[in-house]
Structure 1
Protein backbone atom coordinates (compact mmCIF):
# COMPACT_ATOMS: atom_id res chain seq x y z
CA UNK A 1 0.00 0.00 0.00
CA UNK A 2 1.54 3.30 -1.09
CA UNK A 3 0.79 5.74 1.68
CA UNK A 4 1.31 8.82 -0.45
CA UNK A 5 -1.47 7.88 -2.86
CA UNK A 6 -4.07 7.55 -0.12
CA UNK A 7 -3.52 10.65 1.95
CA UNK A 8 -5.95 13.48 1.34
CA UNK A 9 -5.20 15.99 4.09
CA UNK A 10 -7.96 18.34 5.09
CA UNK A 11 -7.09 21.18 7.43
CA UNK A 12 -9.74 20.75 10.08
CA UNK A 13 -10.05 24.18 11.61
CA UNK A 14 -13.24 26.10 12.26
CA UNK A 15 -16.60 25.39 13.82
CA UNK A 16 -18.86 27.54 15.97
CA UNK A 17 -21.36 26.58 18.57
CA UNK A 18 -23.24 28.51 21.22
CA UNK A 19 -25.53 27.23 23.94
CA UNK A 20 -29.32 27.33 23.83
CA UNK A 21 -29.49 30.85 25.29
CA UNK A 22 -31.75 33.08 23.20
CA UNK A 23 -29.13 35.84 22.86
CA UNK A 24 -26.47 33.40 21.60
CA UNK A 25 -26.26 31.78 18.18
CA UNK A 26 -27.63 28.28 17.82
CA UNK A 27 -25.28 25.49 16.83
CA UNK A 28 -26.59 25.44 13.27
CA UNK A 29 -26.38 29.21 12.87
CA UNK A 30 -22.85 29.22 14.18
CA UNK A 31 -21.93 26.30 11.92
CA UNK A 32 -23.13 28.24 8.90
CA UNK A 33 -20.78 31.10 9.82
CA UNK A 34 -17.76 28.77 9.90
CA UNK A 35 -15.99 26.67 7.26
CA UNK A 36 -16.54 23.32 8.98
CA UNK A 37 -20.00 22.58 7.61
CA UNK A 38 -18.71 23.04 4.06
CA UNK A 39 -15.58 20.97 4.76
CA UNK A 40 -17.46 18.13 6.48
CA UNK A 41 -19.77 17.78 3.45
CA UNK A 42 -16.72 16.65 1.48
CA UNK A 43 -15.61 13.91 3.88
CA UNK A 44 -17.66 11.08 2.28
CA UNK A 45 -16.30 11.94 -1.19
CA UNK A 46 -12.79 12.28 0.20
CA UNK A 47 -12.93 8.86 1.89
CA UNK A 48 -14.47 7.25 -1.19
CA UNK A 49 -11.94 8.82 -3.57
CA UNK A 50 -8.99 7.85 -1.41
CA UNK A 51 -10.05 4.21 -1.19
CA UNK A 52 -11.05 4.01 -4.87
CA UNK A 53 -7.68 5.45 -5.88
CA UNK A 54 -5.82 2.95 -3.73
CA UNK A 55 -7.80 0.05 -5.19
CA UNK A 56 -7.37 1.06 -8.83
CA UNK A 57 -3.60 1.03 -8.34
CA UNK A 58 -3.86 -2.67 -7.56
CA UNK A 59 -4.03 -4.30 -10.98
CA UNK A 60 -5.95 -7.34 -9.73
CA UNK A 61 -8.95 -5.15 -8.86
CA UNK A 62 -11.15 -4.38 -11.90
CA UNK A 63 -12.10 -0.69 -12.20
CA UNK A 64 -15.81 -1.56 -11.93
CA UNK A 65 -15.23 -3.32 -8.61
CA UNK A 66 -13.14 -0.38 -7.35
CA UNK A 67 -15.97 1.99 -8.30
CA UNK A 68 -18.49 -0.23 -6.52
CA UNK A 69 -16.38 -0.28 -3.37
CA UNK A 70 -16.03 3.49 -3.63
CA UNK A 71 -19.82 3.75 -3.80
CA UNK A 72 -20.23 1.57 -0.71
CA UNK A 73 -17.65 3.64 1.18
CA UNK A 74 -19.30 6.92 0.17
CA UNK A 75 -22.64 5.69 1.47
CA UNK A 76 -21.09 4.46 4.72
CA UNK A 77 -20.28 8.01 5.77
CA UNK A 78 -22.89 10.66 6.46
CA UNK A 79 -21.84 14.30 6.41
CA UNK A 80 -24.96 15.19 8.40
CA UNK A 81 -24.07 12.61 11.06
CA UNK A 82 -20.49 13.84 11.29
CA UNK A 83 -21.70 17.41 11.62
CA UNK A 84 -24.13 16.46 14.39
CA UNK A 85 -21.42 14.63 16.31
CA UNK A 86 -19.20 17.70 16.09
CA UNK A 87 -22.01 19.90 17.39
CA UNK A 88 -22.83 17.51 20.24
CA UNK A 89 -19.22 17.29 21.38
CA UNK A 90 -18.75 21.05 21.27
CA UNK A 91 -21.86 21.37 23.39
CA UNK A 92 -20.28 19.03 25.93
CA UNK A 93 -16.75 20.43 25.85
CA UNK A 94 -17.06 24.20 25.61
CA UNK A 95 -18.77 26.73 27.87
CA UNK A 96 -21.15 29.36 26.53
CA UNK A 97 -18.47 31.99 27.08
CA UNK A 98 -15.90 30.02 25.08
CA UNK A 99 -18.37 29.41 22.28
CA UNK A 100 -19.23 33.09 22.12
CA UNK A 101 -15.51 33.93 21.85
CA UNK A 102 -15.15 31.46 18.97
CA UNK A 103 -18.17 32.98 17.25
CA UNK A 104 -16.81 36.50 17.68
CA UNK A 105 -13.56 35.49 15.98
CA UNK A 106 -15.30 33.92 12.98
CA UNK A 107 -17.36 37.06 12.44
CA UNK A 108 -14.23 39.15 11.83
CA UNK A 109 -13.16 39.99 8.25
CA UNK A 110 -9.81 38.22 8.74
CA UNK A 111 -11.49 35.01 9.89
CA UNK A 112 -13.96 35.13 7.01
CA UNK A 113 -11.11 35.56 4.52
CA UNK A 114 -9.25 32.59 6.04
CA UNK A 115 -12.40 30.45 6.15
CA UNK A 116 -13.02 31.07 2.45
CA UNK A 117 -9.47 29.95 1.65
CA UNK A 118 -9.88 26.77 3.74
CA UNK A 119 -13.18 25.85 2.11
CA UNK A 120 -11.72 26.30 -1.38
CA UNK A 121 -8.66 24.20 -0.53
CA UNK A 122 -10.71 21.38 1.03
CA UNK A 123 -12.22 20.37 -2.31
CA UNK A 124 -10.73 16.96 -3.28
CA UNK A 125 -10.56 18.19 -6.88
CA UNK A 126 -7.98 20.78 -5.81
CA UNK A 127 -5.54 18.20 -4.43
CA UNK A 128 -3.83 17.63 -7.80
CA UNK A 129 -3.11 21.35 -8.02
CA UNK A 130 -1.74 21.32 -4.46
CA UNK A 131 0.60 18.49 -5.46
CA UNK A 132 1.67 20.10 -8.72
CA UNK A 133 2.47 23.42 -7.08
CA UNK A 134 4.24 21.93 -4.06
CA UNK A 135 7.81 22.10 -5.45
CA UNK A 136 7.30 25.72 -6.54
CA UNK A 137 5.79 26.81 -3.21
CA UNK A 138 8.36 24.93 -1.12
CA UNK A 139 11.14 26.72 -3.02
CA UNK A 140 9.40 30.10 -2.84
CA UNK A 141 8.86 30.00 0.93
CA UNK A 142 12.07 28.24 1.98
CA UNK A 143 13.57 30.08 4.97
CA UNK A 144 10.67 32.56 5.07
CA UNK A 145 8.52 33.67 7.98
CA UNK A 146 5.65 31.66 6.48
CA UNK A 147 7.75 28.49 6.61
CA UNK A 148 8.79 29.23 10.21
CA UNK A 149 5.14 29.73 11.17
CA UNK A 150 4.20 26.21 10.14
CA UNK A 151 5.15 24.35 13.33
CA UNK A 152 3.24 26.87 15.43
CA UNK A 153 0.24 26.62 13.13
CA UNK A 154 0.37 22.83 12.99
CA UNK A 155 0.36 22.52 16.79
CA UNK A 156 -2.41 25.06 17.24
CA UNK A 157 -4.68 23.79 14.43
CA UNK A 158 -3.86 20.09 15.00
CA UNK A 159 -3.62 19.87 11.20
CA UNK A 160 -1.20 16.95 10.90
CA UNK A 161 -2.87 15.13 13.79
CA UNK A 162 -6.24 15.34 12.04
CA UNK A 163 -4.81 14.36 8.64
CA UNK A 164 -3.01 11.32 10.11
CA UNK A 165 -6.26 10.10 11.67
CA UNK A 166 -8.06 10.59 8.36
CA UNK A 167 -5.33 8.75 6.47
CA UNK A 168 -5.47 5.81 8.87
CA UNK A 169 -9.25 5.67 8.47
CA UNK A 170 -8.87 5.66 4.66
CA UNK A 171 -6.29 2.88 4.79
CA UNK A 172 -8.35 0.84 7.24
CA UNK A 173 -11.34 1.22 4.93
CA UNK A 174 -9.20 0.07 2.01
CA UNK A 175 -7.87 -2.90 4.00
CA UNK A 176 -11.34 -4.01 5.11
CA UNK A 177 -12.62 -3.72 1.54
CA UNK A 178 -9.67 -5.77 0.26
CA UNK A 179 -10.27 -8.36 2.98
CA UNK A 180 -13.59 -9.17 1.32
CA UNK A 181 -11.61 -10.75 -1.53
CA UNK A 182 -9.79 -13.19 0.73
CA UNK A 183 -11.23 -16.26 2.43
CA UNK A 184 -8.50 -16.21 5.09
CA UNK A 185 -8.59 -12.47 5.68
CA UNK A 186 -7.66 -10.98 9.03
CA UNK A 187 -10.35 -9.59 11.26
CA UNK A 188 -11.02 -5.88 11.68
CA UNK A 189 -9.18 -5.53 15.00
CA UNK A 190 -6.03 -7.17 13.61
CA UNK A 191 -6.10 -4.95 10.54
CA UNK A 192 -6.55 -1.88 12.69
CA UNK A 193 -3.62 -2.82 14.94
CA UNK A 194 -1.37 -3.33 11.92
CA UNK A 195 -2.27 0.02 10.40
CA UNK A 196 -2.00 1.82 13.76
CA UNK A 197 1.50 0.36 14.15
CA UNK A 198 2.47 2.35 11.03
CA UNK A 199 1.33 5.67 12.55
CA UNK A 200 4.89 7.02 12.79
CA UNK A 201 5.62 6.23 9.15
CA UNK A 202 2.27 7.64 8.07
CA UNK A 203 2.92 10.82 10.02
CA UNK A 204 6.17 11.37 8.14
CA UNK A 205 4.35 11.21 4.81
CA UNK A 206 1.37 13.23 5.98
CA UNK A 207 3.27 16.08 7.62
CA UNK A 208 4.95 17.03 4.34
CA UNK A 209 1.63 16.93 2.53
CA UNK A 210 0.00 19.06 5.21
CA UNK A 211 2.85 21.56 4.83
CA UNK A 212 2.28 21.63 1.06
CA UNK A 213 -1.43 22.19 1.68
CA UNK A 214 -0.66 24.91 4.25
CA UNK A 215 1.47 26.84 1.75
CA UNK A 216 -1.21 26.51 -0.92
CA UNK A 217 -4.25 27.25 1.27
CA UNK A 218 -2.88 30.38 2.91
CA UNK A 219 -0.92 31.73 -0.06
CA UNK A 220 -3.07 34.87 -0.23
CA UNK A 221 -3.25 35.31 3.56
CA UNK A 222 -0.66 37.75 4.92
CA UNK A 223 1.76 36.86 7.72
CA UNK A 224 -0.01 39.40 9.93
CA UNK A 225 -3.38 37.75 9.28
CA UNK A 226 -1.89 34.30 9.95
CA UNK A 227 -0.50 35.65 13.22
CA UNK A 228 -3.97 36.77 14.27
CA UNK A 229 -5.34 33.37 13.32
CA UNK A 230 -2.76 31.53 15.40
CA UNK A 231 -3.37 33.87 18.32
CA UNK A 232 -6.99 32.73 18.20
CA UNK A 233 -6.12 29.03 17.85
CA UNK A 234 -3.75 29.25 20.82
CA UNK A 235 -6.27 31.08 23.01
CA UNK A 236 -8.31 29.18 25.59
CA UNK A 237 -11.51 29.13 23.50
CA UNK A 238 -9.67 28.50 20.22
CA UNK A 239 -7.62 25.63 21.61
CA UNK A 240 -10.64 24.00 23.26
CA UNK A 241 -12.63 24.36 20.08
CA UNK A 242 -9.90 22.91 17.85
CA UNK A 243 -9.35 19.91 20.12
CA UNK A 244 -13.07 19.17 20.38
CA UNK A 245 -13.60 19.38 16.61
CA UNK A 246 -10.59 17.17 15.85
CA UNK A 247 -11.65 14.47 18.31
CA UNK A 248 -15.27 14.37 17.20
CA UNK A 249 -14.43 14.19 13.50
CA UNK A 250 -11.85 11.47 14.15
CA UNK A 251 -14.49 9.39 15.92
CA UNK A 252 -17.13 10.11 13.30
CA UNK A 253 -14.99 8.94 10.38
CA UNK A 254 -13.55 5.91 12.18
CA UNK A 255 -16.81 4.39 13.45
CA UNK A 256 -18.30 3.41 10.04
CA UNK A 257 -15.11 1.77 8.74
CA UNK A 258 -15.71 -1.58 10.47
CA UNK A 259 -18.92 -2.12 8.52
CA UNK A 260 -17.32 -1.58 5.09
CA UNK A 261 -15.70 -5.03 4.92
CA UNK A 262 -18.93 -6.70 6.02
CA UNK A 263 -20.91 -4.88 3.34
CA UNK A 264 -18.38 -5.79 0.68
CA UNK A 265 -18.35 -9.44 1.76
CA UNK A 266 -22.12 -9.60 1.32
CA UNK A 267 -21.86 -7.90 -2.06
CA UNK A 268 -19.03 -10.07 -3.39
CA UNK A 269 -20.09 -13.44 -1.98
CA UNK A 270 -21.66 -15.61 -4.68
CA UNK A 271 -25.22 -16.65 -4.08
CA UNK A 272 -25.58 -20.11 -2.66
Structure 2
Protein backbone atom coordinates (compact mmCIF):
# COMPACT_ATOMS: atom_id res chain seq x y z
CA UNK A 1 0.00 0.00 0.00
CA UNK A 2 1.25 3.50 -0.85
CA UNK A 3 2.08 5.63 2.18
CA UNK A 4 0.43 9.08 2.25
CA UNK A 5 3.44 10.76 3.83
CA UNK A 6 5.70 9.46 1.08
CA UNK A 7 3.20 10.56 -1.56
CA UNK A 8 3.37 14.06 -0.10
CA UNK A 9 7.14 13.85 -0.28
CA UNK A 10 6.97 12.86 -3.95
CA UNK A 11 4.66 15.79 -4.72
CA UNK A 12 7.05 18.13 -2.94
CA UNK A 13 9.95 16.74 -4.98
CA UNK A 14 7.93 17.40 -8.13
CA UNK A 15 7.45 21.05 -7.12
CA UNK A 16 11.01 21.65 -5.87
CA UNK A 17 12.89 19.81 -8.62
CA UNK A 18 15.66 18.28 -6.52
CA UNK A 19 16.20 16.14 -3.45
CA UNK A 20 18.29 18.87 -1.80
CA UNK A 21 15.59 21.52 -2.29
CA UNK A 22 12.91 19.13 -1.06
CA UNK A 23 14.93 18.35 2.05
CA UNK A 24 15.55 22.04 2.74
CA UNK A 25 11.86 22.89 2.37
CA UNK A 26 10.70 20.14 4.71
CA UNK A 27 13.52 20.26 7.26
CA UNK A 28 14.87 16.81 6.43
CA UNK A 29 18.33 15.68 5.40
CA UNK A 30 18.81 14.85 1.69
CA UNK A 31 19.65 11.25 2.60
CA UNK A 32 16.36 10.88 4.52
CA UNK A 33 14.39 12.22 1.54
CA UNK A 34 16.23 9.88 -0.81
CA UNK A 35 15.56 6.88 1.43
CA UNK A 36 11.85 7.67 1.75
CA UNK A 37 11.48 8.06 -2.02
CA UNK A 38 13.33 4.76 -2.53
CA UNK A 39 10.87 3.11 -0.14
CA UNK A 40 7.98 4.60 -2.10
CA UNK A 41 9.45 3.12 -5.29
CA UNK A 42 9.46 -0.30 -3.67
CA UNK A 43 5.84 0.19 -2.59
CA UNK A 44 4.92 1.24 -6.13
CA UNK A 45 6.86 -1.59 -7.73
CA UNK A 46 8.44 0.68 -10.35
CA UNK A 47 11.09 3.37 -10.71
CA UNK A 48 9.71 6.82 -9.91
CA UNK A 49 12.98 8.77 -10.14
CA UNK A 50 15.73 8.65 -12.72
CA UNK A 51 18.84 9.17 -10.62
CA UNK A 52 22.35 10.18 -11.69
CA UNK A 53 25.39 10.99 -9.56
CA UNK A 54 24.45 14.67 -9.49
CA UNK A 55 20.68 14.87 -9.94
CA UNK A 56 17.34 13.12 -10.00
CA UNK A 57 14.19 13.66 -12.02
CA UNK A 58 10.81 12.04 -12.25
CA UNK A 59 10.26 9.15 -14.63
CA UNK A 60 7.05 8.93 -16.66
CA UNK A 61 5.64 6.64 -13.96
CA UNK A 62 6.71 9.15 -11.33
CA UNK A 63 4.88 11.98 -13.09
CA UNK A 64 1.74 9.86 -13.41
CA UNK A 65 1.88 9.00 -9.71
CA UNK A 66 2.34 12.68 -8.78
CA UNK A 67 -0.89 13.53 -10.61
CA UNK A 68 -2.76 10.76 -8.81
CA UNK A 69 -1.11 11.60 -5.49
CA UNK A 70 -2.27 15.21 -5.71
CA UNK A 71 -5.82 14.00 -6.31
CA UNK A 72 -5.59 11.56 -3.39
CA UNK A 73 -4.13 14.11 -0.98
CA UNK A 74 -6.77 16.68 -1.93
CA UNK A 75 -9.52 14.12 -1.32
CA UNK A 76 -8.04 13.22 2.08
CA UNK A 77 -7.86 16.88 3.06
CA UNK A 78 -11.42 17.49 1.85
CA UNK A 79 -12.65 14.53 3.94
CA UNK A 80 -10.81 15.86 7.00
CA UNK A 81 -12.28 19.32 6.41
CA UNK A 82 -15.81 17.89 6.18
CA UNK A 83 -15.37 15.98 9.43
CA UNK A 84 -13.91 19.05 11.10
CA UNK A 85 -16.83 21.14 9.86
CA UNK A 86 -19.22 18.94 11.83
CA UNK A 87 -18.01 20.53 15.06
CA UNK A 88 -18.12 24.05 13.62
CA UNK A 89 -15.46 25.18 16.11
CA UNK A 90 -12.35 26.84 14.60
CA UNK A 91 -9.37 25.14 16.16
CA UNK A 92 -5.82 24.16 15.40
CA UNK A 93 -3.15 26.04 13.48
CA UNK A 94 -3.69 28.21 10.40
CA UNK A 95 -0.63 29.45 8.53
CA UNK A 96 -0.95 32.42 6.18
CA UNK A 97 1.71 33.90 3.96
CA UNK A 98 1.34 37.40 2.52
CA UNK A 99 3.26 39.85 0.37
CA UNK A 100 4.73 42.56 2.64
CA UNK A 101 2.33 45.46 2.05
CA UNK A 102 -0.71 43.21 2.58
CA UNK A 103 0.79 41.81 5.77
CA UNK A 104 1.26 45.32 7.18
CA UNK A 105 -2.13 46.58 6.02
CA UNK A 106 -4.35 43.67 7.06
CA UNK A 107 -2.65 42.09 10.08
CA UNK A 108 -4.15 44.37 12.79
CA UNK A 109 -7.76 43.82 11.68
CA UNK A 110 -7.21 40.08 11.19
CA UNK A 111 -5.72 39.75 14.66
CA UNK A 112 -8.65 41.62 16.22
CA UNK A 113 -11.15 39.44 14.40
CA UNK A 114 -9.51 36.14 15.37
CA UNK A 115 -8.79 37.09 18.98
CA UNK A 116 -12.07 35.55 20.21
CA UNK A 117 -11.21 32.09 18.87
CA UNK A 118 -9.24 30.70 21.79
CA UNK A 119 -8.66 27.30 20.19
CA UNK A 120 -7.19 28.78 17.03
CA UNK A 121 -3.49 29.52 16.48
CA UNK A 122 -2.81 31.95 13.62
CA UNK A 123 0.65 32.28 12.02
CA UNK A 124 1.50 35.04 9.54
CA UNK A 125 4.62 34.92 7.36
CA UNK A 126 5.79 37.18 4.56
CA UNK A 127 6.64 36.01 1.05
CA UNK A 128 6.15 37.01 -2.56
CA UNK A 129 3.20 35.92 -4.67
CA UNK A 130 4.97 33.03 -6.42
CA UNK A 131 6.33 31.61 -3.19
CA UNK A 132 2.97 32.01 -1.49
CA UNK A 133 1.15 29.99 -4.13
CA UNK A 134 3.80 27.26 -3.94
CA UNK A 135 3.51 27.10 -0.16
CA UNK A 136 -0.28 26.73 -0.29
CA UNK A 137 0.00 23.99 -2.92
CA UNK A 138 2.56 22.09 -0.85
CA UNK A 139 0.64 22.47 2.40
CA UNK A 140 3.30 24.63 4.07
CA UNK A 141 0.68 27.38 4.28
CA UNK A 142 -3.11 27.23 4.42
CA UNK A 143 -3.76 30.67 2.91
CA UNK A 144 -1.71 33.06 0.79
CA UNK A 145 -2.35 36.74 0.12
CA UNK A 146 -1.13 37.38 -3.41
CA UNK A 147 -1.17 40.26 -5.88
CA UNK A 148 -1.66 40.20 -9.64
CA UNK A 149 -0.67 43.02 -11.99
CA UNK A 150 -1.29 40.99 -15.16
CA UNK A 151 -4.90 39.89 -14.85
CA UNK A 152 -3.89 36.31 -15.72
CA UNK A 153 -2.96 34.80 -12.36
CA UNK A 154 -6.31 33.16 -11.62
CA UNK A 155 -6.62 31.62 -15.09
CA UNK A 156 -3.10 30.19 -14.98
CA UNK A 157 -3.29 28.75 -11.44
CA UNK A 158 -3.92 25.06 -10.73
CA UNK A 159 -7.56 24.03 -10.33
CA UNK A 160 -6.76 22.77 -6.82
CA UNK A 161 -6.48 26.39 -5.62
CA UNK A 162 -9.46 28.61 -4.85
CA UNK A 163 -9.14 32.40 -5.22
CA UNK A 164 -11.06 35.00 -3.21
CA UNK A 165 -10.88 38.55 -4.56
CA UNK A 166 -10.12 41.05 -1.80
CA UNK A 167 -9.63 44.42 -3.44
CA UNK A 168 -8.60 46.49 -6.46
CA UNK A 169 -5.37 48.31 -5.53
CA UNK A 170 -4.62 51.24 -7.86
CA UNK A 171 -1.32 52.96 -8.47
CA UNK A 172 -1.24 56.40 -6.76
CA UNK A 173 1.15 59.32 -7.02
CA UNK A 174 3.13 60.14 -3.86
CA UNK A 175 4.72 63.57 -3.47
CA UNK A 176 6.40 65.63 -0.73
CA UNK A 177 3.65 67.46 1.19
CA UNK A 178 4.92 70.89 0.04
CA UNK A 179 4.95 69.95 -3.65
CA UNK A 180 2.51 72.12 -5.68
CA UNK A 181 0.70 69.09 -7.07
CA UNK A 182 0.25 67.57 -3.61
CA UNK A 183 -2.70 69.97 -3.25
CA UNK A 184 -5.88 68.07 -4.25
CA UNK A 185 -7.29 71.32 -5.64
CA UNK A 186 -4.41 71.55 -8.13
CA UNK A 187 -5.06 69.86 -11.51
CA UNK A 188 -2.82 66.80 -11.86
CA UNK A 189 -0.65 67.01 -14.99
CA UNK A 190 1.75 64.09 -15.26
CA UNK A 191 3.49 65.73 -18.20
CA UNK A 192 4.77 68.43 -15.85
CA UNK A 193 6.24 65.76 -13.56
CA UNK A 194 8.33 63.91 -16.17
CA UNK A 195 11.50 65.77 -15.25
CA UNK A 196 11.07 65.36 -11.51
CA UNK A 197 13.48 63.00 -9.66
CA UNK A 198 11.47 59.76 -9.81
CA UNK A 199 12.08 56.91 -7.39
CA UNK A 200 10.91 53.35 -7.95
CA UNK A 201 11.47 49.69 -7.17
CA UNK A 202 14.23 47.92 -9.14
CA UNK A 203 13.55 46.78 -12.74
CA UNK A 204 11.62 43.53 -12.92
CA UNK A 205 9.49 44.26 -9.86
CA UNK A 206 5.77 44.31 -10.77
CA UNK A 207 5.23 47.77 -9.28
CA UNK A 208 8.21 49.09 -11.31
CA UNK A 209 6.67 47.77 -14.50
CA UNK A 210 3.48 49.67 -13.69
CA UNK A 211 5.48 52.87 -13.03
CA UNK A 212 7.29 52.50 -16.36
CA UNK A 213 3.93 52.09 -18.12
CA UNK A 214 2.70 55.24 -16.38
CA UNK A 215 5.66 57.29 -17.54
CA UNK A 216 5.52 55.88 -21.05
CA UNK A 217 1.90 56.99 -21.26
CA UNK A 218 3.02 60.63 -20.94
CA UNK A 219 5.70 60.61 -23.59
CA UNK A 220 8.30 58.03 -22.62
CA UNK A 221 9.94 57.07 -19.39
CA UNK A 222 12.85 59.23 -18.21
CA UNK A 223 15.62 57.54 -16.28
CA UNK A 224 14.62 56.77 -12.70
CA UNK A 225 16.94 58.71 -10.43
CA UNK A 226 16.73 56.33 -7.48
CA UNK A 227 15.89 52.65 -7.10
CA UNK A 228 15.04 51.14 -3.72
CA UNK A 229 13.67 47.80 -2.59
CA UNK A 230 10.77 48.21 -0.19
CA UNK A 231 7.83 50.50 -0.91
CA UNK A 232 7.82 51.81 2.66
CA UNK A 233 11.39 53.01 2.13
CA UNK A 234 10.23 54.94 -0.94
CA UNK A 235 7.42 56.62 1.01
CA UNK A 236 9.82 57.86 3.69
CA UNK A 237 12.24 59.19 1.08
CA UNK A 238 9.43 61.06 -0.67
CA UNK A 239 8.42 62.58 2.69
CA UNK A 240 11.97 63.95 2.98
CA UNK A 241 11.78 65.57 -0.43
CA UNK A 242 14.26 63.25 -2.16
CA UNK A 243 11.91 62.71 -5.09
CA UNK A 244 8.45 61.52 -6.13
CA UNK A 245 7.06 58.05 -6.70
CA UNK A 246 4.07 56.06 -7.87
CA UNK A 247 3.04 52.97 -5.93
CA UNK A 248 0.00 50.85 -5.05
CA UNK A 249 -2.27 52.54 -2.54
CA UNK A 250 -2.05 49.59 -0.15
CA UNK A 251 1.65 50.35 0.40
CA UNK A 252 0.71 53.56 2.21
CA UNK A 253 -1.18 51.84 5.02
CA UNK A 254 0.69 51.93 8.32
CA UNK A 255 3.21 54.49 7.07
CA UNK A 256 3.71 57.42 9.41
CA UNK A 257 5.46 59.66 6.88
CA UNK A 258 3.79 62.91 5.82
CA UNK A 259 3.26 62.86 2.05
CA UNK A 260 0.82 64.10 -0.54
CA UNK A 261 -1.21 61.41 -2.30
CA UNK A 262 -2.99 61.90 -5.63
CA UNK A 263 -5.13 59.45 -7.54
CA UNK A 264 -4.02 58.61 -11.08
CA UNK A 265 -6.79 58.71 -13.69
CA UNK A 266 -5.67 55.53 -15.52
CA UNK A 267 -7.53 52.77 -13.63
CA UNK A 268 -5.70 50.02 -15.56
CA UNK A 269 -2.53 50.78 -13.58
CA UNK A 270 -3.53 48.63 -10.65
CA UNK A 271 -3.14 45.22 -9.11
CA UNK A 272 -5.76 42.79 -7.86
CA UNK A 273 -5.32 41.34 -4.39
CA UNK A 274 -6.51 37.81 -3.60
CA UNK A 275 -6.61 35.32 -0.77
CA UNK A 276 -5.82 31.82 -2.01
CA UNK A 277 -6.44 28.49 -0.30
CA UNK A 278 -6.59 24.87 -1.33
CA UNK A 279 -10.12 24.12 -2.48
CA UNK A 280 -10.02 20.97 -0.37
CA UNK A 281 -9.40 22.97 2.84
CA UNK A 282 -11.89 25.84 2.71
CA UNK A 283 -14.60 23.96 4.65
CA UNK A 284 -12.28 23.46 7.60
CA UNK A 285 -13.66 25.84 10.27
CA UNK A 286 -10.25 27.33 11.12
CA UNK A 287 -9.52 28.15 7.47
CA UNK A 288 -13.07 29.41 6.87
CA UNK A 289 -13.01 31.81 9.81
CA UNK A 290 -9.55 33.06 8.82
CA UNK A 291 -10.74 33.72 5.26
CA UNK A 292 -13.72 35.68 6.61
CA UNK A 293 -11.41 37.74 8.82
CA UNK A 294 -9.08 38.44 5.89
CA UNK A 295 -11.95 39.51 3.65
CA UNK A 296 -13.35 41.85 6.31
CA UNK A 297 -9.90 43.36 6.88
CA UNK A 298 -9.43 43.99 3.17
CA UNK A 299 -12.77 45.85 2.93
CA UNK A 300 -11.85 48.41 5.58
CA UNK A 301 -11.09 51.90 4.21
CA UNK A 302 -7.38 52.54 3.70
CA UNK A 303 -5.74 54.80 6.27
CA UNK A 304 -3.27 56.91 4.32
CA UNK A 305 -0.52 59.19 5.65
CA UNK A 306 -1.17 62.90 5.66
Query: Shared topology, TM-score over 0.5?
Result: no
TM-score (norm 2): 0.28
Higher strand share: 2
User: Which structure has the higher relative contact order (CA within 8 Å, separation 6+)?
Assistant: 1
Based on CA coordinates, which of the two structures has the bigger radius of gyration? 2
TM-score (norm 1): 0.30
Higher helix share: 1
